[in-house]
């Protein structure tokens, strides 16, 4: 395995820095309106539908999601209270709008070409019971030097999803070339959340054993002027689909399914949120459109 010069690394300091980073990551994950608070997933239909625990009758349209609120019902959109009929307008793929309601917030989003609703409730039992994610002990040996190879023009990559019947398309700016297990390997990258940074979705020989079967994610700093970058597998994390049935996470491209064991980063979560009835503790109302989501 080719790594950075880990022999000179202060291992105690390395561990502390990783622990600080992972604590912040866990805090974001367990935010009262974060992904562990997602209590259901609803796919909007062209005909108006009601959904358990959510105000209004909702539908999708060529112009985007629309909600019709009955007398006494309201939502908070962009900081203002709305009543009656509200059209959200077209929502871009992977974008979302957050709407306030009495029980928390509703994520109005578009995934795989379809409009969805995901209520996020601070009182959701799964969030309240969450006690953290097990991880491998941080090890400097898994900080790997890599070379970023840029495509002349970004290349579209279509990948599967944690939901049957949809897919995601990402524009890849290039790939990483690195040595793992004495072999040179390539990892296709996608744009990171911060401009200039990269994201890698991958599986490895631990997937389905000690780590989540479907995918893990790794954020990577912007490459330097020589397109060199450090890939720290200690910071590999689970995507939301590792925790909940209500996620539409992308799966790794075929090139990123590694045969080597990456014994670093987060392991399989110890608990998982299931089913809309479990989420709300009630049976769906007549006319509700609920689609079960199967992860991995």
Instruction: For residue range 240-256, list pLDDT tens digits in order.
Output: 999 998 999 999 999 99
Q: Would you give the DSSP letter of residue 222? A: P
Q: Confirm whether 152 is domain-assigned.
A: yes
pLDDT at 282 (0 to 100)? 28
pLDDT at 163 (0 to 100)? 83
| Residue 272: count of CB within 10 angstroms of its CB | 13
Whether 144 and 251 share a structural domain = yes
What are the tens digits of pLDDT across the range 131-180? 999 999 999 999 999 999 999 999 999 999 988 888 999 999 999 999 99
Q: Confirm whether 287 is domain-assigned.
A: no
Tokens of 7: 């022999």
How much of the chain exceeds pLDDT 70, in percent? 90
Instruction: Give the CA distances from residue 212 to residues 9, 49, 252, in Å, rounded to whole numbers and listed in that order.
Output: 29, 34, 13
Mean pLDDT on 260-268: 97
User: Domain count of the chain?
Assistant: 2
Q: How far apart are CA 251 and CA 159, in angstroms?
A: 6
With the CA atoms of 123, 109, 162 and 51 taken in that order, what torsion angle do they form, in degrees rounded to the nearest 10?
Answer: 50
Q: What confidence tier does 92 reach under pLDDT thresholds 50, 70, 90? A: very high
pLDDT at 278 (0 to 100)? 30
Whether 167 and 40 share a structural domain = no
Whether 10 and 49 share a structural domain = no
Q: Confirm whether 294 is domain-assigned.
A: no
- Flag whether pLDDT at 4 surpasses 90: no
Whether 171 and 230 share a structural domain = yes
- Residue position matching structure tokens 């604590």: 23
Question: To the nearest whole number, what is the mean pLDDT of the chain?
Answer: 89
Q: Confirm whether 261 is domain-assigned.
A: no
Q: Confirm whether 10 is domain-assigned.
A: yes
Whether 109 and 156 share a structural domain = no
What are the tens digits of pLDDT across the range 168-222? 999 999 999 999 988 999 999 999 999 999 999 999 999 999 999 999 999 999 9
Q: Would you give the DSSP letter of residue 252? A: P
Q: Which residues contact 14 (CB under 8 A, 6 or more apart)?
A: 138, 140
Whether 145 and 242 share a structural domain = yes
Q: Would you give the DSSP letter of residue 285? A: P
Whether 165 and 211 share a structural domain = yes
Instruction: Give the CA distances from residue 211 to residues 3, 190, 240, in Å, rounded to whole numbers and listed in that order.
Output: 22, 22, 14
Q: How far apart are CA 22 and CA 28, in angstroms?
A: 10
Whether 24 and 151 share a structural domain = yes
- Flag whether pLDDT at 288 surpasses 90: no
pLDDT at 43 (0 to 100)? 92
Whether 122 and 53 share a structural domain = yes
Q: Confirm whether 48 is domain-assigned.
A: yes
pLDDT at 20 (0 to 100)? 98
- Flag whether pLDDT at 101 surpasses 70: yes
pLDDT at 295 (0 to 100)? 25
Inter-residue contact 242 to 214 (CB < 8 Å)? yes
Inter-residue contact 256 to 187 (CB < 8 Å)? yes
Q: What confidence tier does 287 reach under pLDDT thresholds 50, 70, 90? A: very low
Q: Confirm whether 285 is domain-assigned.
A: no
Q: Confirm whether 173 is domain-assigned.
A: yes
Look at strands 216-220 and 198-202 and give their pairing. Answer: antiparallel
pLDDT at 275 (0 to 100)? 66
Residue 110: name the closest of 261, 270, 248 by CA: 248
Whether 140 and 244 share a structural domain = yes
Residue 125: name the closest of 250, 58, 36, 49 by CA: 36
Q: How many CA atoms lie within 13 A of 240 on its CB side?
A: 24
Print the domain residue range for 100.
35-130+274-280
Prediction pTM value: 0.86
Whether 26 and 39 share a structural domain = no
| Residue 12: count of CB within 10 angstroms of its CB | 8
Characterize 44-65 residue by residue with b for buried, 16 or more Cβ atoms within 10 angstroms of its Cβ, and e for exposed.
beeeebbbbbbbbbbbbeeebb
pLDDT at 195 (0 to 100)? 92
Whether 203 and 116 share a structural domain = no
Mean pLDDT on 100-116: 94
């Amino acid at each position: 395995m080719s790594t950075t010069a880990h022999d000179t690394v202060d291992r105690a300091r390395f561990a502390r820095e990783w622990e600080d980073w992972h604590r912040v990551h866990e805090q974001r994950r367990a935010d009262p309106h974060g992904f562990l608070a997602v209590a259901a997933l609803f796919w909007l239909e062209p005909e108006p539908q009601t959904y358990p625990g959510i105000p209004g009758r909702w539908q999708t349209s060529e112009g985007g999601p629309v909600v019709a609120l009955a007398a006494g019902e309201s939502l908070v959109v962009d900081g203002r209270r709305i009543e009656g009929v509200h059209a959200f307008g077209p929502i871009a793929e992977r974008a979302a709008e957050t709407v306030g309601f009495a029980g928390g917030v509703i994520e109005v989003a578009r995934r795989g070409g379809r409009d969805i609703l995901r209520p996020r409730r601070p009182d959701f039992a799964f969030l309240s019971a969450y006690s953290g994610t097990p991880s491998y002990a941080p090890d400097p040996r898994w900080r790997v030097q890599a070379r970023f190879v840029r495509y002349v023009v970004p290349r579209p990559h279509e990948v599967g999803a944690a939901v049957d019947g949809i897919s995601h398309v990402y524009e890849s700016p290039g790939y990483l070339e690195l040595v793992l297990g004495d072999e040179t390997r390539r990892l296709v990258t996608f744009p990171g959340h911060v401009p200039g940074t990269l994201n890698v979705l991958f599986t490895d020989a631990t997937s389905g054993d000690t780590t989540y079967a479907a995918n893990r994610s790794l954020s990577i700093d912007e490459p330097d002027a020589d397109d060199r970058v450090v890939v720290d597998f200690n910071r590999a994390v689970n995507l939301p689909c590792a925790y909940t049935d209500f996620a539409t996470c992308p799966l790794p491209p075929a090139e990123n399914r590694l045969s080597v064991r990456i014994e670093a980063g987060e392991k399989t979560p110890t608990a998982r949120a299931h089913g809309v009835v479990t989420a709300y503790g009630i049976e769906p109302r007549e006319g509700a459109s609920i689609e079960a989501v199967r992860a991995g």
